Amino acid sequence: MKRRTFAAALVVGMGALSACASTPPALEASQIAPLNAGYLLAAGDRVRIIVFNETSLTGEYSVTPQGTIAFPLIGTIQADGKTTEDVSQFVREKLKQGYVLDPRVSVEVISYRPYYILGEVNKPGEYSFSNGLTVQQAVAAAGGFSYRANRGKVFLRRRAGEERTVDLNGPAVQVLPGDTIRVGERYL
């Protein structure tokens, strides 16, 4: 009799405690900006900077862990948190200062920084980003769910943002470069 009372009290207590836990707010598909709409560069991105008619300045450059790009003639370009258009404008302005007459500059991302998947998947780790990747595809790339995974929702953390809940039974949510996906453990 005492065992049953204890077990019942334990179950009720666990239920009460789980009700106190805060769940991150859900992330709606409409809250996800398309990748080409103001993508911000950061460490790990690789860009191609084209200075038309100046082949010696045209090339591929990596954004360093400090968020910079080393560019000939100009020196260091602060790229972290900037769009490709921002970097293009900066290079254009610097080259106008006595280096190139009326420079035309184009900047494009050629490879994005990786995304990360942690928790209850078979192969957690760092993965190469590809455009159009969804959370469900990222889980599949990580070998699928482990046997202990909560298969209904995962947690997504955007660059310098808070962790949000993604309902895997809802609309597909796109992964962005630098995202961290965490698959939680199921209870019971």
pLDDT in tens, 75-104: 999 999 999 999 999 999 999 998 889 999
pLDDT in tens, 96-141: 998 889 999 999 999 999 999 999 999 999 999 988 899 999 999 9
pTM check: above 0.85: no
Mean pLDDT of the region 155-160 = 85
Provide the mean pLDDT of the chain.
Answer: 83
b/e string for 52-61 if b means 16 or more Cβ within 10 A? eebeebeeeb
Higher pLDDT residue, 12 or 128?
Answer: 128
Domains annotated on the chain, with CATH: 40-111 (3.30.1950.10), 114-185 (3.10.560.10)
Place of tokens 């709606």: 28
Question: How high is the pLDDT of residue 30?
Answer: 41
> What is the C-alpha to C-alpha distance for residues 131 and 175, in angstroms, rounded to an integer?
8
Question: How high is the pLDDT of residue 183?
Answer: 95
